[in-house]
Amino acid sequence: MPRRIFKRYMPDPRKLKKHKHLSWLGEHLHNPNLWHLSRRSAARAFMIGVFCAFLPIPGQMFVAALLALWIGGNLAVSVGLVWLTNPVTIPPIFFATYKLGAFILGTEPIQISWSLAGIEAQIMHIWWPLLLGSLICGIIFAALSYVVINRVWIWQVQKSRQRALKRRHKAD
């Protein structure tokens, strides 16, 4: 079940391996875990994608792709999950991570002006608490997603096997 859901939305690995802009990756694109959906590659992909979604930097998708190449998680799932932080979700997520970072650093959170000019003027005061809070949340939620995907995958496989056994026994 989980495999069918993921495969429906994944790009064709053969096309990606032949893509002219991806040729610089060479043999790294031939790692089967980048394209195969197994419990381990999916769990690693969720871990990578969720972690990178919390990074307060441009190029989250690029970082997710590099981590997927290095760790061996599914590339498409890793990069796709970065979109957990999108223009709608970025403000509340990064505001929460900023508050967490300010709390941990023991600094008083400043009143943030939500205009682009206001944020640019305050970036030096915001940066360290935001980065710390984002890394902490990224690590926690990445680990949590890794465990949850592993458990859900195992549960789904066990449930599927039980149904198959019931069908076999009914046929007998």
Cα-Cα-Cα-Cα dihedral of 152, 94, 68, 13, to 10°?
80
148 vs 113, higher pLDDT: 148
DSSP state of 10: P
- Tokens describing residue 163: 């149904």
Q: DSSP readout, 69-109?
A: HHHT--HHHHHHHGGGS-TTTHHHHHHHHHHHHHHHHTPPP
Q: Residue 23 has what pLDDT?
A: 62
- Tokens describing residue 109: 């959170």
78 vs 4, higher pLDDT: 78
Give me the residue spans of the domains in the chain. Answer: 2-171
5-63 confidence digits (pLDDT tens): 666 666 666 666 666 666 656 666 666 667 778 889 999 999 999 999 999 999 999 99
**66 vs 73: CA distance, rounded Å:** 10
Indicate whether 67 pLDDT > 80.
yes
Q: Which of 67, 71, 44, 39 minimizes the C-alpha distance to 55?
A: 67
**Distance of CA 71 to CAs 39, 42, 51, 68, 102, Å?**
14, 12, 13, 5, 31
Q: Which of 51, 23, 12 minimizes the C-alpha distance to 144?
A: 51
- Tokens describing residue 133: 């809070």
